[in-house]
Amino acid sequence: MQKGDENMAQCPNCGAKTTTPIKEWDLNDKIHIALFECCGKKFREYMKK
């Protein structure tokens, strides 16, 4: 991810940028996960803190 795109994910199906996650949680102290939905499919984006 580019700097400034912390809350943007790219859909693996159509390539559209998605900014609003359905759900977010911390996996551990270093990894944050956000769940997004686009094209009727859900996908995860893993982000380092």
d(CA 28, CA 42): 22
25: number of CA atoms within 13 Å, CB side?
4
Count CB atoms within 10 A of the CB of residue 48: 7
| pLDDT more than 70, % of the chain | 86
pLDDT at 7: 62
pLDDT at 22: 93
Q: Which two tokens stand for residue 10?
A: 């790219």
Interval 9-28 mean pLDDT: 90
pLDDT at 49: 78
Q: For 41, which DSSP code?
A: E
Residue 42 has pLDDT above 90, yes or no: yes
What do you get for the CA distance between the two ends of the chain, in Å?
12
